[in-house]
Structure 1
Amino acid sequence: MLHFNIRTALTSAALGGAIAVAGTAATAVELRGWNIHVEDYPVSIAMESFAAEVAERTNGEITAKTFHNGVLGSQPDAIEQIRLGVIDFGEFSLGPMGQSIPETNVVSLPFIFPSIPDMYEMMDGEVGEAIGEGMIAKGIVPLGWYDAGARSFYNSVRPINTPADVEGLKVRVMSNDLFVGMVEAMDGNATPMAFGEVYQSIKTGVVDGAENNPPSYESTNHYEVAQFYSLTEHLIIPECLCMSLKSYEKLTPEQQEIVKEAGHTSALLQRELWQEREAASMETIAAGGTTVNTIEDKAPFQEAMGPVYDKFLADNPDLTDLVNLIRNAE
């Protein structure tokens, strides 16, 4: 049975000798945090809330400063710096973590989460704990699971209601074999390209469309050239407010508990802010003439992903239990 307790894993990590045992007094600790987003983004606001709560509840013994706009480096570099303890905390998509933490790759499987609320429940429960086990083993402690929305298809040709509607469409995807396989499994033509090239590529017919969450679709004006937005919600990839295990283990047990609780509280705030941002984006694209369609039955899409899952599990047999835990969740 796949089960995990973060407290147990942290204890094991300490006993393993890689980190000094927690519990030594920590006075006037200043934590440095990485964030790729601008300061008024939902993630950024939630991170500032996290810092404020930690400072207040530790009576100023711990302060946290978040460096926004990616000024501390690229996301892959920052993930490595978190592992090394050079940066103390940060907010990351689980997608890029897959290169160094295999467990995080599971959430990049298409249609693995039935919905955003299901993702919340699973990530706040046993699934999040299982993924956290892999993260802690690599030196990263998850503090809260943030929302990055659901990615859906948009194009300039037709609404997508079934997998057959993807057939023949030229779809821009991120450069990831999982996402290429996802489109190809529905007989579409997957085209990896830089995100900044998408608008012009749709406008000129190089591709018919792409896929992304509502704020990205709206803020880049892609809705001007791809008027059909189909809520497939095929990728629901959560993000994580994380702390370096090296930094975490320097805190007292009481401070560690405060940091974890503040992380979870910030995640609840971020989710609320993200939903508000999504709603505003949906209003904008509707006013701009976008045809939005909801897909009531996603089972045919999930069934079409069989080859994608088969290949992933053949390449990662040790992740079978985790995949099944998510897919079989009630």
Structure 2
Amino acid sequence: MKKQTLIAALLATVASTGMAFAECEVTLKSSDTHPDGYPTVEAVKFMGDELKAGTGGRMCVEVFHSAQLGEEKDTIEQTQFGVIDLNRVSLGPFNNIIPETQIPSLPYIFRSVEHMHNVMDGPIGEEILAAFEAHDLVGLAFYDGGSRSFYNSQKPIRSMEDLKGMKFRVMQSDLFVDMVSAVGANATPMPYGEVYSSIQTGVIDGAENNWPSYDSSGHFEVAKYYTLDQHLIVPEVLVMSKKTWDGLSAEDQAAVRKAAKDSVPVMRDLWAAREKESEAKVIAAGAEVITDIDKTPFIEAMVPVYEKYVTSDKLKDMVARIQATE
């Protein structure tokens, strides 16, 4: 779809649903590809409640879930243009735009979810958020994206040998393409919304994602083999259009930042509960979960990926600081 057509459709959607927020002086339109009830969607709703309370009812957030405003790549562009005010996106689609986002997107960079929290809640996380401003965006907060693992429709995967020649969807990121190639599989970048039908029709054999996405997308229905190789623990990020941000007073900017930060622990609690719920659901539905896997060969295979993307002294230093974080 051409950008002009997309913008027109987007504005029409926003206009048709904005009446409920008419009592607010400022209503921020927020996009999310996930369905209503998903932890990231509910966290941004919570942020909106906090923002409304913190501004005496002057500011509201209206969340457009289920990719109503488009898939992630398109919504990133519209947020940069100021058509969308807020956007919850995985870091992956930013990898080709903002070099700093490549580091927390590296396979096996984090030892655990707790390690990721310690890194992203500290000075390294703030440094990465600050990098968005040069790209017409303001980084507000990091959410959890869980650990991502491979799932497919063909067979259980227990080794890199099992992956050879298989076709997997990845986010539209060169880093993700190279990661999948490094383990001997074929990467197919495509929007999230096209994955189900592509697996169903055999265009691809599978994809890689976390428990809640494997569940909420229905992918477990067409790809029942889920291998817990946990190759990625990629944070999600909540960003604001810099054009929108620059139109706010310093007081309102501070209120937006506070509400976003306050939503993080809420999101994490929702995420932890949802992971357990999704795991139980897909197993009950007949998904086969493969846990007897040696991650060591997978980790060793990522050396060329690090060599390709961690090239500057700045990025090498960031990797070293992440690895040194407890």
The bucket for the TM-score relative to the shorter chain is 0.7 to 0.9
Q: Which residue among 98, 101, 105 is the counterpart of 1:101?
A: 98
- The residue number in structure 1 matching 2:256 is 259
| Residue 271 (structure 1) aligns with | 268
Matched residue, 1:88: 85
- What is the TM-score of this pair, normalised by structure 2? 0.78
Task: For 2:66 and 2:155, locate their aligned partners in 1 and report how far apart those are by CA, in whole Å.
Answer: 35
Q: Alignment partner of 2:63: what SS?
A: strand
Give the TM-score of the pair, scaled to structure 1. 0.78
* 1:131-150 correspondence to structure 2 within 5 Å: 131-150=128-147
SS at match of 1:107: coil
RMSD over aligned Cα, in angstroms? 2.8
Aligned to 2:151, the other structure's residue is in SS state strand
Distance 1:60 1:214 in 2: 36
- Over 3 Å counting, the alpha-carbon distance change for 1:142 and 1:153 in structure 2 is same
The alignment status of 1:327 with 2:302, answered yes or no, reads: no
Q: Distance in 2 between matches of 1:183 and 1:66?
A: 33
**Alignment partner of 1:242 is 2:213:** no
Q: Distance in 2 between matches of 1:288 and 1:117?
A: 29
2:26 alignment counterpart? 30
| Distance verdict in 2 for CA 1:176–1:79, change over 3 Å | closer
CA distance in 2, matches of 1:171, 1:115: 27
Distance of 2:198 and 2:62 partners within structure 1 = 35
Shift of 1:57: 1.5
Q: In the aligned structure 2, how far is the partner of 1:220 from the partner of 1:87?
A: 24
Indicate yes or no: 2:46 matched with 1:49. Answer: yes
Q: Secondary structure at the match of 2:270?
A: helix
1:127-173 per-residue CA deviation (whole Å, 9 max, x = no partner) reads 2112112112323222221122221022442342x5x4545351413
Mark the structure with the bigger radius of gyration. Answer: 1
Alpha carbons 2:196, 2:222 under 8 Å: kept: no
Return the alpha-carbon distance in structure 2 between the equivalents of residues 65 and 222 of structure 1: 28
For the 8 Å contact 2:31–2:84, the answer to whether it is kept is no
- Supply the distance in 2 between the matched residues of 1:172 and 1:90 (Cα, whole angstroms): 26
Q: Point out where structure 2 has 5 or more consecutive residues left out of the alignment.
A: 1-23
One-letter amino acid of the counterpart of residue 325, structure 2: A
Task: Tell me how far apart the structure 2 counterparts of residues 227 and 48 of structure 1 sit (CA, whole Å).
Answer: 32
The whole-number CA distance in structure 2 between the counterparts of 1:240 and 1:119 is 13
Give the whole-Å Cα distance in 2 for the aligned partners of 1:167 and 1:76. Answer: 27
The residue aligned with 2:8 is: none
Alignment of 1:212-251 (within 5 A): 212-224=209-221, 226-251=223-248
**CA deviation map 1:77-103 (0-9, x unaligned):** 432333343433222222222333222
